[in-house]
Amino acid sequence: MNRYFCAEASRQAGEDPIGWASFDEIFVMIECPPPWSTNEFESKAAPATLISLVDKLDNAEVSIRIVLIYGEAPQQSPHLIIFRQTPGISNSYCKQEAQFSDIYALVQAIPDYLSDSTLGANATPTRDILVCTHGSHDRCCGKYGYPFYRQALAIVRDLGLENVRVWQSSHFGGHRFAPTILDFPDGRCYGRLTPATFLSILTRQGDIQALKNVYRGWGILAGSEYLIASQVMERELMLQHGWDWFNYKIAYRIVEESADAVFSRVEFTVVKPDDSIQCYQAEVIEDEGRALYISGDCDGEVEKLPHRIVKNLVEIEV
């Protein structure tokens, strides 16, 4: 019997991945060995106290995503890594990190670390790349995610990048774009990766246009119902500015939006490393003729997936 793979269906349909990033203000990463259950918090190695903590954090005032991660080698002292958005104009998340005697002590400490952003804030700067390998949640992440995780490890090792860590991760959305990654501290999300596109993302070299078909969006633009429009415009600006774009700090606002949300006018303020400022506006509209009707995951129902485009992008006076 032929099994349905949502990632293959999405790829064949030519779905645009932009706008499908993980949109959370705080990411909590808990080092916990697989195998992971469909609900990762019910996994054999996860403490029972983790489920009650997740339920409590679901009602928090800010959007918090908890994922399980696992590195290449077993750790006697598991890591807790927290990335949180900073208010105002920014280009990355702030990191907290600590190691604990065991996962039980780690889970018990999470509320303290969430309430005090100074705890673990002096950790060594690292680039942390999460590859979803959570095959029990969606089979595409097992079929495409785990082999890519092994490839990513080899690429980082061959390049000798000592401060880059590649982690297996439980589900963070977008399995139909598998293999998919989250790249911290900047918080950008990519899918349908190949070794070549991953190398470009790692080194920020090569043809920036190659990112058009793998870039899912930037989590730092989260916290708004107008998120997808801002993601679409941000990618357009990234493709125009090239790799320098990754060094710019960004703020955005929605100038105007239609009641049915098929039209938005978005404004981006860009601060460069030399403190010069540029401002852009554009219209982001829904292209009804390019909407797709496919399943959002391997076992899901067919749904409408809209397609949005940028029009009339202009630089305006600051």
pLDDT digits (tens, 9 = 90+) for 302-317: 888 888 999 999 999 8
**pTM of the complete model:** 0.94
Q: What is the CATH number of the domain that holds 55?
A: 3.40.30.10
**164-212 per-position pLDDT tens digit:** 999 999 999 888 999 999 999 999 999 999 999 999 999 999 999 999 9
Please indicate, yes or no, whether residues 79 and 144 belong to a single structural domain of this protein: yes
Residue 56 forms part of a structural domain: yes
The predicted pLDDT at position 100 comes to 96
| One-letter-per-residue 3-state SS of the chain | CCCCCHHHHHHHHCCCCCCCCCCCCEEEEEECCCCCCCCHHHCCCCCHHHHHHHHHHCCCCCCEEEEEEECCCCCCCCEEEEEECCCCCECCCEEEEEECCCHHHHHHHHHHHHHCCCCCCCCCCCEEEEEECCCCCCHHHHHHHHHHHHHHHHHHHHHCCCCEEEEEECCCCCHHHCCCEEEECCCEEECCCCHHHHHHHHHCCCCHHHHHHCEEEEHHHCCCCCHHHHHHHHHHHHHHHHHHHHHCEEEEEEEEECCCCCEEEEEEEEECCCCCEEEEEEEEEECHHHCEEEECCCCCCEEEECCEEEEEEEEECC
Please indicate, yes or no, whether residues 120 and 187 belong to a single structural domain of this protein: yes
Residue 217 forms part of a structural domain: no
Please indicate, yes or no, whether residues 27 and 119 belong to a single structural domain of this protein: yes
Picking from 184, 209, 234, the residue at the C-terminal end of a domain is: 209
Please indicate, yes or no, whether residues 205 and 238 belong to a single structural domain of this protein: no
Structure confidence at residue 241 as a pLDDT band (50, 70, 90): very high
Please indicate, yes or no, whether residues 232 and 205 belong to a single structural domain of this protein: no
Picking from 163, 183, 209, the residue at the C-terminal end of a domain is: 209
Please indicate, yes or no, whether residues 113 and 243 belong to a single structural domain of this protein: no
Please indicate, yes or no, whether residues 108 and 28 belong to a single structural domain of this protein: yes
Picking from 161, 179, 209, the residue at the C-terminal end of a domain is: 209
Residue 132 forms part of a structural domain: yes
Residue 38 forms part of a structural domain: yes
Q: How many structural domains comprise the chain? A: 2
The predicted pLDDT at position 222 comes to 60
Please indicate, yes or no, whether residues 110 and 172 belong to a single structural domain of this protein: yes
Please indicate, yes or no, whether residues 187 and 259 belong to a single structural domain of this protein: no
Residue 219 forms part of a structural domain: no
Please indicate, yes or no, whether residues 164 and 231 belong to a single structural domain of this protein: no
Residue-number span of the structural domain to which 77 is assigned: 6-209
Q: What is the mean pLDDT of residues 74-85?
A: 91
Please indicate, yes or no, whether residues 33 and 133 belong to a single structural domain of this protein: yes
Residue 85 forms part of a structural domain: yes
Question: With 90 as the cut, is the pLDDT of residue 4 above it?
Answer: no
Q: What is the mean pLDDT of residues 78-96?
A: 92
Question: With 90 as the cut, is the pLDDT of residue 51 above it?
Answer: yes
Q: Which of 47-56, 114-123, 222-231, 272-281 has the lowest mean pLDDT?
A: 222-231
Residue 220 forms part of a structural domain: no
Question: With 70 as the cut, is the pLDDT of residue 224 above it?
Answer: no
The predicted pLDDT at position 122 comes to 87
Please indicate, yes or no, whether residues 18 and 141 belong to a single structural domain of this protein: yes
Residue 44 forms part of a structural domain: yes
Q: Which two tokens stand for residue 30?
A: 């808990």
Percent of the chain with pLDDT over 90: 67
